[in-house]
Amino acid sequence: MACYRNKGRHEDGFKAMATTDEVVMGGQADNPLLQAWLAPHATPPFAEIAPDHFMPAFEQAFADHAAELDAITRDPAAPDFANTIVALERAGTLLSKVSAVFHSLVSAHSSPALLKIDSDVSLRLARHWNAILMNAALFRRVAALYEARESLNLTPEQARLLERTYTRFQRAGAGLDAAAKKRMADIVERLAELGTTFSHHLLGDEQDWFLELGEQDRDGLPETFVVAAEAAASERDMAGKAIVTLSRSSVEPFLKDSARRDLREKVFKAFIARGDNGNANDNNATIVEILTLRQECARLLGYPTFAAYRLADSMARTPEAVRDLLERVWHPARAKALADRAELQVLVTEEGGNFALAPWDWRYYAEKLRRSKANFDDAAIKPYLTLDNMIAAAFDCATRLFGITFHARKDIPVWHPDVRVWEVKDAGGAHKALFYGDYFARSSKRSGAWMTSLRDQQTLDSEVAPLIVNVMNFAKGAEGQPALLSPDDARTLFHEFGHALHGMLSNVTYPSLSGTSVFTDFVELPSQLYEHWQEQPQVLRQFARHYQTDEPLPDDLLARFLAARKFNQGFATVEFVSSALLDLEFHTQPAAASRDVAAFERKELEKIGMPSEIAMRHRPTQFGHIFSGDHYAAGYYSYMWSEVMDADAFGAFEEAGDIFDPTVAKRLHDDIYSSGGSREPEEAYIAFRGRKPEADALLRRRGLLDTPEAA
C-alpha cells in the first residue's frame, strides 16, 4: 500500500513559511543550508550539501525559532490574531527549510553519516517542539483567542487556523500541570528516539539481505524480472549477477512468477521476518516500549487509550467507528479469500502438488488461476506500461482535469542522478510548482513509496510556490531499455501523484493549512481517487504502448485487463484489513497485553479468523506506518476510510458521463485538491459531492458487495 509521507517535521509543530530571501548567518558563510539558495526557484543546492552541514544548521535554526517564539510570548500587547497566530506562522523559516532537506535525504538517499545524525536530530526536534507546545504563556495567548473566537470577525480560513493551532497545543499537553508536562516531554523525546530506531532497524535488515539467482534459480521468471534483478545487483556493486532484494517491488513479482517453491519460501520468510530476527535490528522490544509510552501519553491527556486520543482528532472520531468500518469490509473479504483458497488448493492438486497451499504459494497459484479464468497475467501488459508513458499519463490527466502543464527542467539540483524535475505551470502559463520524481529502488532508499515536500505553498506575505517530491522503488530496466511497470506499480505512481497534486494545487494563505495538512483519514482521498484515472480505457488506449513497437495496447488485452481488476481482491483486502485491525488492537488494548508482540499478533489473528495462507501486509516488526513515527498509529485504517470516499467520489464523474467533466473537475479542484486543511474534511467532501459518501461504493469497487459472509 502506497502512502503519504509526513513532511519532515515534528507533526505537532507549525509549518513555518519558506521564503527565498534567507540571510547568511554569522560564522556560517560556507554552509549552504544557511545561505540564500540561488538555484532556479530557490531550490536546495544538493551537490553542495554535506552531512557535516546539518547539525550547525539545525543549531542555528533552533536558536532562531526559539528567539522568534520568545518574542511572541513576551509581547506586552494583548494577544490578537496577528501578533500571536500569524506570528506563529511566520516563525521557524530556517527550521522548516533545514528539516525538509534533511528528512528527504534520510529517506531517499541515506548514508551511515546521515543515519547517525538522524538519531541526534530526532531527539533534538522532540525537545525543541516540547518547549514550544508546552509553553504555558504561549498557550495562554492562543487559548484566550480561541475562547473569544466568535467575536474576532475571522475569515473561515483564519477561524480554521485558530482552531487547529489551539488543538495542537492542547493535544500536546499545554494545559497539563508542571509535573505532567515534564513527564509528557520525557515521553515525546523517548518516542522520537524509538521511532528513529525502528526505522533504522528496518532499513538495516532490508540492506543486509539478498538472494542471488543462479541460472538454475530463474525458472518461471520473466525476462523483465531478471533484468531488474541484474540492475539491483549492479546497484550493490555485484555487476554480472542477479539478486532478489527485500524491496516489495522485488519480492512480490518473485513470489508471483518463480516456479521454485523452495526459493519462494526462502524469500517470503525473509520478507515477513524483517525486524524480527533476534539480531541487532530486532524491533520487538522497541514496539513494546512505544506502546507503553503511547498509552501513558494518552492517559496523561485524559483518554482511556491511545486510539481514543488519536481518533478524537480525525474524521472517524472514535475507535468504534473505525472497527465498524473494518469489520464491515473484513467479513465479505475473508469469505471471498476462503473461496479463492479452495480454488487454489484444487489447482495445486491438479498440478500434482502433494502439499497444502502456503503463504509463499498464494501469489504464484493466484496468477495461474487468473491466467486460466481471466486469460490475463501481468507479464502480458507490462511491456505496455513503461515508466515514462505512465508519468506522461499522470501528467495528461492532471492537465485535462486542472489545466496545469509539466515541463522538464535539467537545471534544478537533485540528490541523485536518477531524480527528474518538472516545472508545473497553471492554465495561464504562470509558474505553479516544481515536481521532483525519484522512481528507482536503491540500497540508500527506504522501501515503499511516498510523497513529501521541500517547501509548501502559502501566500501569507508573498506567493510561495511549492517544491513537491514523489519517491518510488521501481525496478530499473536493462541498459538502454525503459523501466516496465506492473499494473500495481502504475497504480502506485498515480496514487503518489495524487498526493503530489494535493501539494501542488494547494491555494491557502497560511503554511500550517497547506497541501496535505489534513486529517490522516482524509489525506488518502486525493491520492486514492487519482488512481481511478490510471485504469480508464481512454487513458490506457492513449498511453499504454509497447516499449519496442510503440503499438497501442490491443483492445482484447485491454478488455481482459479490465475484467481481471477485481481478481484476488479477497486476498488483497484481507492482507490490508488484518493489518489495520491489528493496529487498532495494539492501541486500544492495555499495553501490557502486547508485551510478547508475536503472541499478541497470533492471538489477534486467530480471533478474526485470519486465513493461515495469507500474511498481513505489514507484520508488527516492519510496520513502519505505525512504529517509525505516529502519523498512522491507530490510523492505518485511513486508507480504507478514504477508499469509501474515493470510490464514491469518482462516481461523480461517471454520473456526468465524462471522466474529465469540467464542472465536476472544478469542484474537485476547489473543494478537495486546493483547499488544503482550510476546511473541515467532511464539509469539503460534501461541497464536492453534494452529500456524504456511501460505503457500499467501496465494496462494489472491490467486487465484495455480493460476497456471502463466511461462518
Q: Which residues are catalytic?
A: 496
Q: How many CA atoms lie within 13 A of 548 on its CB side?
A: 3
- Radius of gyration (Cα) for the chain, nearest Å? 25
Residue-by-residue DSSP string for 491-552: HHHHHHHHHHHHHHS---SSGGGSTT-S-HHHHHHHHHHHHHHHT-HHHHHHH-B-TTT-PB
Strands (E) across 359-484 are located at: 405-409, 420-425, 431-440, 450-455, 467-474
Grid cell listed for 692:
456524504
Q: What is the DSSP letter of 223?
A: H
Please, are residues 69 and 131 in contact by the beta-carbon 8 Å criterion?
Answer: no
Residue-by-residue DSSP string for 60-72: HHHHHHHHHHHHH
120/130 Cα distance (integer angstroms):
16
Whose cell is 486510539? That residue is 307
Q: How far is CA 661 from CA 647, 648, 655, 692, in A?
A: 17, 16, 10, 21
Please, are residues 110 and 444 in contact by the beta-carbon 8 Å criterion?
Answer: yes
Please, are residues 18 and 456 in contact by the beta-carbon 8 Å criterion?
Answer: yes
Cβ contacts of 371 within 8 Å, gap of 6 or more: 377
Widest distance between CA atoms in the chain: 84
Closest of 637, 620, 432 to residue 1, by C-alpha: 637
Please, are residues 561 and 370 in contact by the beta-carbon 8 Å criterion?
Answer: no
Q: What is the DSSP letter of 12?
A: T
81/85 Cα distance (integer angstroms):
5
